[in-house]
């Protein structure tokens, strides 16, 4: 354990390095993203933008991550700050806790603790209060009786931190108020409501079995409450707050993620009690969507942790409707999903009456999504009649048209035609007819080939990038280059900013390099180059460096010559000196020819060496 450090808005370098050294970045990121080994890196789908092909890289040795899709990157601190929307100090505290490094707040810092921090503390305190109420011999009786009827054992109650909100109007507010949590903060955290007319506050949850909602950093961010009387709604979730967004949160993902990663599969059920029952019976990769319709963000969270999903919703009409709505989201995210069909009731009831093995068999026998849609359509319409077949095709074609993958779409068309004894070309014709038309101008614009956009000076940009790339990976080269060029020789502003930091840096430490870069675009370029191998082999390095330096300095000199020649030609023209104009124009053309030859040489060299 390192010595405690008093924080005054900043973290000491020693403590920061100790945290970074102790935190395994691959293990940390794997809590949020399914990573696979790829050479020296680990790769996965970026959690910060939508993508179907993994471009997110993690380098365990350097302690860095980078996405080639959105250009974001950094270290463990940057990752936690972005993934959890935290300040640097909040991220540092979360990582310090994970790493076993103790950080102490000064009394002044404690007073200045952020509102988010106080909200987390208030929600944790509320979870403790509800737990105490459940255990109370008298007050917790109704909730304990309900859990006993539902077959929830003591170990599961403990694991899910279940609690009880008493029926009184302001018990929670009184207890937390006595601990220093202001009513306004409790309201912002979604624990109390303001009375009409502004006359005080009252508890949001009353006479309910309480389910703490915990994020992937094991922090309570909200609650779900199941009514123990006739109150409506039966299930009540915390309203959205600065730290709780329902559409991006999955109930029990914090408890399920290890199994999800291990099995590479996630099971989605409807309700909190379904999740609790599933975990009690050993189905520990089950999650729920917090009583709201499944969202695209929730599906993307699943996709980052698993390559396939299974939906097990209630057998009633509302459950089946919710399932069909959800399937379009999985298709859009390109996450393969199967549908497990319950004979009756909900997953909780099925598990209690049929057991874990029957549930696992049900999940294993889940239908691929389009198979399920075919079956449901055949139940709604008569496939033995022409009219019924037309209705089935018209019902399913929107789902087929929404499929982006052409191979999968073609297979769906084949399955639809084969299942209902239809001609495949007739189904395709119907599909084309149902596609919305596009205006002619838009159609021609989209279908026209893209015009080639050439860099004003591609050879110069390539030469600059070669030198930058080499300086990132070969620290000893920086001193030599600093004697031959300076940052102002780089025309590209991002290259110039990064060159300015590299030419003055002796350290090979990535964090020290990042600290020396003042430009955000340059820092992103640096992170990307750290994840790319050097642009050429060591035996070719000297020649490439010499050519690139020569090209940059020659072009810098030529730029001045061009400017002087253009002014001289204009002056000769104004004076009517035709002979002087011709002489200067010849000199101008020779300079262009010389630069064209040097550009061609640089291009040929790049082709031989493979470029950067």
CATH code at position 41: 3.90.580.10
Same domain, 20 and 38: yes
The tens digit of pLDDT for each residue in 133-144 reads 999 999 999 999
**H or E element, residue 581:** helix 578-609
- Assigned token pair, 578: 């035709």
Same domain, 75 and 167: no
CB atoms within 10 A of CB 52: 12
The tens digit of pLDDT for each residue in 376-389 reads 899 999 999 999 99
Same domain, 348 and 269: yes
Same domain, 32 and 133: no
**H or E element, residue 445:** helix 440-447
Residue 498 has pLDDT above 60, yes or no: yes
Task: Tell me the residue range of the domain where 83 lies.
Answer: 6-111
Same domain, 558 and 512: yes
Position 483 scores a pLDDT of 86
Region of residue 282 (left: phi > 0; alpha: psi -120 to 50; beta: else): left
Same domain, 10 and 102: yes
Position 562 scores a pLDDT of 54
pLDDT more than 70, % of the chain: 85
User: Using 50, 70 and 90 to split pLDDT, how confident is the model at 350?
Assistant: very high
Instruction: Report which of 550, 549, 455, 560 is spatially closest to residue 503, judged by C-alpha positions.
Output: 549
Residues 211, 161: Cα–Cα separation, whole Å: 7
The tens digit of pLDDT for each residue in 18-43 reads 898 899 999 999 989 999 999 989 99
- Listing DSSP states for 479-535 in one string gives HHHHHH--GGG--SHHHHHHHHHHHT-----HHHHHHH---HHHHHHHHHHHTS--S
Residue 214: beta bridge partners? 220
Lowest mean pLDDT, pick from 54-68, 341-355, 569-583: 569-583
Q: Using the 3D structure, point to which of 66, 89, 111 is the last residue of a domain.
A: 111
Phi/psi for 355 (5° steps) reads 95, 170
Q: Residue 519 domain-assigned?
A: yes
- Assigned token pair, 342: 């319950």
Residue 156 near residue 276 (C-beta atoms within 8 A): yes
Residue 266: beta bridge partners? 309
Q: Residue 494 domain-assigned?
A: yes
pTM exceeds cut of 0.85: no
Mark 265-295 as b/e (b = at least 16 C-beta within 10 Å): bbbbbbbbbbbbbbbbbebbbbbbbbbeebb
Helix, strand, coil shares of the chain, percent, nearest 5, are 55, 10, 30
Q: Residue 305 domain-assigned?
A: yes
Q: Residue 33 domain-assigned?
A: yes
Same domain, 134 and 104: no
Q: Residue 447 domain-assigned?
A: no
Residue 539 has pLDDT above 80, yes or no: no
Same domain, 134 and 181: yes
Same domain, 107 and 125: no
CATH number at residue 282: 3.40.1360.10
Q: Using the 3D structure, point to which of 96, 111, 126 is the last residue of a domain.
A: 111
Residue 595 has pLDDT above 60, yes or no: no
Q: Residue 192 domain-assigned?
A: yes
Residues 91, 78: Cα–Cα separation, whole Å: 8
Residue of 16 and 174 predicted with greater confidence: 174
Instruction: Report which of 464, 609, 466 is spatially closest to residue 539, judged by C-alpha positions.
Output: 609
The arithmetic mean of pLDDT across residues 194-199, rounded, is 84
- Assigned token pair, 377: 């359509």
User: Using 50, 70 and 90 to split pLDDT, how confident is the model at 2?
Assistant: very low
Residue 107 has pLDDT above 90, yes or no: no
- Total domains present in the chain: 5
Same domain, 236 and 255: no
Same domain, 254 and 358: yes
Residue 319 has pLDDT above 80, yes or no: no
Q: Using the 3D structure, point to which of 244, 271, 294 is the last residue of a domain.
A: 244
Q: Residue 1 domain-assigned?
A: no
Residue 293 near residue 319 (C-beta atoms within 8 A): no
Position 314 scores a pLDDT of 82
Same domain, 82 and 160: no
User: Using 50, 70 and 90 to split pLDDT, how confident is the model at 611?
Assistant: very low
Q: Residue 126 domain-assigned?
A: yes
């Amino acid at each position: 354990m390192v010595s405690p450090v008093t924080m005054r808005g900043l973290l000491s370098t020693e403590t920061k390095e100790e945290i970074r050294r102790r935190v395994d970045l691959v293990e940390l990121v794997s809590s949020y993203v399914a990573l696979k080994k790829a050479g020296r890196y680990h790769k996965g789908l970026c959690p910060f933008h939508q993508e179907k092909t993994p471009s997110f890289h993690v380098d365990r040795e350097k302690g860095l991550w980078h996405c080639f899709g959105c250009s974001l990157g950094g270290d463990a601190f940057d990752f936690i700050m972005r993934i959890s929307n935290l300040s640097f100090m909040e991220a540092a505290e979360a990582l310090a806790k994970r790493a076993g490094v103790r950080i102490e707040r000064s009394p002044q810092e404690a007073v200045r603790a952020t509102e988010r921090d106080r909200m987390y503390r208030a929600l944790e305190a509320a979870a403790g209060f509800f737990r105490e109420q459940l255990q109370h011999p008298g007050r917790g009786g109704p909730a304990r009786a309900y859990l006993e009827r539902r077959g929830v054992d003591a170990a599961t109650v403990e694991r899910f931190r279940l609690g009880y909100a008493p029926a009184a109007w302001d018990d929670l507010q009184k207890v937390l108020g006595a601990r220093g949590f202001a009513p306004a903060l409790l309201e912002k955290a979604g624990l109390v409501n303001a009375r009409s007319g502004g006359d005080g506050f009252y508890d949001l949850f009353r006479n309910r079995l309480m389910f703490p909602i915990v994020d992937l950093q094991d922090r309570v961010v909200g609650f779900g409450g199941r009514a123990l009387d006739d109150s409506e709604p039966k299930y009540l979730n915390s309203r959205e707050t600065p730290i709780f967004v329902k559409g991006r949160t999955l109930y029990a993902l914090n408890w399920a993620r290890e199994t999800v990663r291990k099995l590479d599969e996630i099971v989605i059920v409807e309700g909190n009690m379904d999740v609790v029952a599933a975990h009690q019976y050993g189905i520990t990769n089950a999650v729920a969507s917090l009583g709201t319709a499944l969202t695209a963000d929730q599906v993307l969270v699943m996709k980052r942790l698993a390559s396939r999903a299974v939906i097990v919703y209630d057998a009633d009409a509302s459950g089946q409707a919710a399932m069909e709505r959800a399937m379009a989201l999985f298709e859009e995210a390109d996450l393969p999903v199967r549908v497990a069909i319950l004979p009756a009731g909900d997953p909780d009831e099925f598990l209690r009456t049929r057991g874990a093995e029957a549930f696992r068999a049900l999940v294993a026998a889940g239908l691929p999504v389009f198979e399920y849609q075919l079956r449901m359509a055949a139940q709604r319409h008569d496939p033995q009649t022409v009219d019924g077949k037309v209705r089935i095709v018209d019902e399913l074609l929107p789902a087929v048209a929404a499929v982006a993958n052409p191979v999968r779409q073609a297979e769906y068309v084949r399955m639809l035609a084969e299942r209902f004894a239809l001609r495949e070309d007739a189904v395709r014709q119907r599909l084309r007819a149902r596609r919305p038309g596009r205006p002619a101008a838009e159609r021609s614009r989209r279908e026209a080939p893209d015009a080639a956009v050439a860099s004003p000076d591609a050879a110069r940009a390539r030469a600059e990038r070669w030198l930058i790339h080499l300086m990132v990976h070969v620290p000893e080269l920086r001193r030599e280059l600093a004697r031959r060029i300076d940052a102002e020789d780089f025309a590209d502003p991002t290259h110039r900013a990064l060159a300015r930091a590299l030419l003055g840096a002796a350290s090979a430490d990535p964090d020290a390099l990042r600290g020396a870069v003042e430009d955000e675009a340059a820092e992103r370029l640096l992170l990307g180059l750290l994840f790319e191998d050097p642009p050429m082999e060591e035996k070719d390095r000297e020649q490439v460096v010499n050519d690139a330096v020569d090209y940059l300095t020659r072009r810098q000199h030529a730029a001045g010559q061009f400017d002087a020649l253009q002014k001289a030609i204009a002056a000769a023209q104004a004076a009517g000196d035709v002979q002087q104009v011709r002489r200067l124009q010849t000199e101008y053309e020779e300079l262009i020819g010389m630069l064209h030859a040097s550009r061609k040489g640089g291009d040929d060299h790049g082709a031989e060496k493979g470029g950067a």
